[in-house]
């Protein structure tokens, strides 16, 4: 199925999604890659709040700098498994939706079961995703450059559900044993 939904999604929206569905997100998402996740981890260990709100959608992306007159440069996804070590703690914090590239580890899928949804963004489509971003604001960790945390306002941002609340996984369907 195809859906047009507001981001961040609420629990009812997450519940209707099934692996393989195409979703066009409109609203707000936050970028965070490896370095930002490491800082999130340290903040959570100290009991601090994160610079992203509970319930937010995290996009594993490090946007390229914007050319003059543009909102943002190309901003394609990075590999989701690189964030797997941090995902359980982020879920405990209140994040239940993630956008990245590729499959998650089986351990993270087990933690996500019934609690979170993973979306895939198409690798190599950074300019397409940039064209769906209507605003970009630096939120945290400016010293990280492209790996800083940015709040993105998006319109019809295309993603595919790769792991749903029921545990359906599009990557498991195509894996050979």
pLDDT tens profile 116-133: 999 999 988 999 999 999
Mean local confidence (pLDDT), 39-44:
98
Give me 176's structure tokens. Answer: 């050979």
Give catalytic status of residue 37 as yes or no. yes
- Evaluate if residue 164 carries a pLDDT over 50: yes
pLDDT in tens, 57-85: 999 999 999 999 999 999 999 999 999 99
Quote the pLDDT of residue 19. 96
- Evaluate if residue 134 carries a pLDDT over 70: yes
CA distance 131 to 1: 23
Other C-beta atoms within 10 Å of 131: how many? 16
Quote the pLDDT of residue 174. 55
CA distances from 133 to 6, 95, 151, 169 (A): 14, 21, 10, 28
Quote the pLDDT of residue 123. 87
Q: What is the largest CA-CA distance in the chain?
A: 49
CATH annotation of 2-170 = 3.20.130.10
CB 58 within 8 A of CB 52: yes
Quote the pLDDT of residue 147. 95
pLDDT in tens, 10-31: 999 999 999 999 999 999 999 9
CB 163 within 8 A of CB 120: no
Domain boundary assignment for the chain: 2-170
Mean local confidence (pLDDT), 165-173:
91
Find the catalytic residue in 29, 32, 37, 163. Answer: 37
Give me 29's structure tokens. Answer: 């998402």
CB 84 within 8 A of CB 104: yes
pLDDT in tens, 95-114: 999 999 999 999 999 999 99
Residues above pLDDT 70, as percent of the chain: 97
- Evaluate if residue 176 carries a pLDDT over 90: no
DSSP symbols for the chain: -EEEEEES--HHHHHH--TT-EEEEEEEEEE--HHHHHHHHHHHHTTPPPSS-TTPEEE-B-PPPPPTT-S-----B-BGGGGTTTHHHHHHHT--EEEEBSPPPHHHHHHHTTT-EEEE--TT-HHHHHHTEEEEEEEE-GGGGGGSEEEEEEEEEEEEEEE-TT--BHHHHH---
């Amino acid at each position: 199925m195809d859906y047009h939904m507001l981001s961040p999604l609420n629990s009812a929206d997450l519940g209707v999604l099934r692996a393989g569905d195409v979703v066009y997100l409109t609203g707000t998402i936050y970028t965070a890659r490896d370095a930002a996740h490491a800082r999130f981890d340290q903040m959570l260990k100290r009991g601090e709040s994160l610079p992203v709100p509970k319930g937010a959608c995290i996009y594993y992306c490090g946007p390229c700098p914007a050319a003059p007159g543009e909102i943002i440069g190309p901003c394609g996804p990075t590999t989701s498994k690189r964030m797997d070590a941090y995902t359980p703690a982020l879920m405990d914090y209140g994040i239940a939706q993630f956008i990245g590239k590729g499959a998650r580890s089986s351990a993270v899928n087990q933690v996500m079961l019934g609690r979170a949804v993973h979306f895939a963004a198409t690798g190599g489509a950074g300019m397409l995703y940039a064209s769906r971003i209507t605003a970009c604001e630096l939120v945290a960790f400016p010293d990280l450059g492209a790996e800083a945390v940015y709040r993105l306002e998006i319109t019809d941002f295309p993603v595919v559900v790769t792991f749903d609340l029921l545990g359906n996984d599009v990557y498991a369907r195509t894996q050979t044993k």
